[in-house]
Amino acid sequence: MGRTLSTFCKRSSANTINSGRQARALPAFRVYRCLALGLFLLSCSYTPTFIPLEQVSGPLPNYTIISIIHGDGDYLFHDIDGRKLRADEEALAGMKKVAERNSQAEVFIFHEKRRKKFLFFFPRQDGEFYYYRNGQMLARELYRRNQGQSRFDPEKELYLRLCGKKQPRLGRLFLYFGHEIPEFGGEGYDASYRRRTFTIEDLADGLKDMTRESGRFDLIVLSTCFNGTPYTVSALYPFTRFLIASPGNLHLSYLDSQPLEKLELGLGNGDISAFAREYARQAFERLTKDIQTEITIAVYDLERVQGYLNSVDSIYVNAMDQIKEKAQAFVEHCDCAENSAYVRPDMSEGIEVFYRAARFGRFKHKKAHSGWECLKLPK
């Protein structure tokens, strides 16, 4: 296969055909030959990796980690040395380290990429899936993300195909890396599929299938902006015991995955509450060293926050309905504590907040954050 596609096409055009009909058919024939070769080259460019699980030796995993990394959007940033990096690719590299360094875990990694086409016509697979067990990669597969009615149908199918029937004893974690997940609307979340929507309800529907047989996750991490809201926490309550999310504008939308690299140390005693707090604390300390903007990371105990959520549910739903009717494109975020309607004696029950104000701007003197983010219409 040393000859290039262009060389092949040029050699085809060098043949001379005397018949007028044959001469007219030659350009189309040459195009078909080039396209056929292009498809052949495309089919040869990737070979899925899969090792049958029955051939894998070693103990069954004690932990399960599922991570979805959204990369179909603007994730370009510059580090302190001025290098151009993509946040989704950095998150992918971090999760691969997590998978390789956990000798007692199974790790599912889904990387949702921007859609591209081959030869301007043929869509490439825009999803990449990795499956690791006990530090070894057993499967790697490309897939198309627009298959199925639900946005997460391809990911759910791959997960259910490989997840073990015997559930891990010590912990199940789910992580989502990406932009803010909308609470309504959601059009254009994927740059490649502008008409397809993605909201918190879509995420909840995907989690419903992933937990149908195995029960709730022990911890869900939303590495996104502005998803520490009453609505989001309520929607995820059926699927997890603890939640880490940011009520604020989380820098680059990506929490550090390094605390996950040795789960047998951080989660060895099964205390998911302590692990979640330590995870959030380490992420907070790393971010405070690197950036000057506001940092807010909250840990929610989903059982203990239910009293507060029930008391403000109708207020939040009514506010959401007004926003949808009037100007959903011009929504502002605010600390729920700034609105007296949301202030309750149990507002801090079941929540731990790591907060540092921005080093500049009108909120630089803000001392604390309630851990709850609300939506409002601008004045």
Task: Give pLDDT tens digits for 64-80.
Answer: 999 999 999 989 887 77
Mark whether 125 and 242 lie in a shared domain: yes
Mark whether 113 and 203 lie in a shared domain: yes
What is residue 276's three-state secondary structure? Answer: helix
Asked if residue 49 is part of any domain, the answer here is: no
Arithmetic mean of pLDDT over the chain: 84
What single letter denotes the amino acid at residue 37? L
The answer to whether the beta carbons of residues 315 and 341 sit under 8 Å apart is: yes
Asked if residue 126 is part of any domain, the answer here is: yes
* DSSP annotation of 139: E
Question: Of 189, 170, 222, which Cα lies nearest the Cα of 64?
Answer: 170
Cβ atoms within 10 Å, residue 62 = 20
Q: Classify strands 63-70 and 105-112 as parallel, antiparallel or unpaired.
A: parallel
Mark whether 225 and 324 lie in a shared domain: yes
83 to 80, 86, 234, 292: CA distances (angstroms): 8, 10, 39, 19
pTM for the structure as a whole? 0.84
Quote the tokens at residue 259: 């605390």
Mark whether 131 and 11 lie in a shared domain: no
- The predicted structure's pLDDT at residue 52: 62
Question: Of 223, 299, 252, 228, which Cα lies nearest the Cα of 76?
Answer: 252
Confidence of residue 50 (pLDDT cuts 50, 70, 90): low
Alpha-carbon span 63 to 163, nearest angstrom: 12
Mark whether 235 and 278 lie in a shared domain: yes
Cβ-Cβ contacts under 8 Å for 265 (sequence gap 6 or more): none
Say if residue 41's pLDDT is above 50: no
pLDDT tens-digit map of 279-335: 999 999 999 988 889 999 999 999 999 999 999 999 999 999 988 887 656 788 999
Asked if residue 56 is part of any domain, the answer here is: no
Triad 107, 154, 253: Cα angle to 5°: 60
CA 181, 184, 189, 193 dihedral sign is positive
Question: Of 180, 272, 275, which Cα lies nearest the Cα of 222?
Answer: 180
Q: 91: part of which helix (H) or strand (E)?
A: helix 87-101
Q: In this predicted structure, which of 14-18, 213-217, 263-267 has the lowest mean pLDDT?
A: 14-18
Task: Give the chain's domain count.
Answer: 2
The whole domain housing 26 covers 5-44
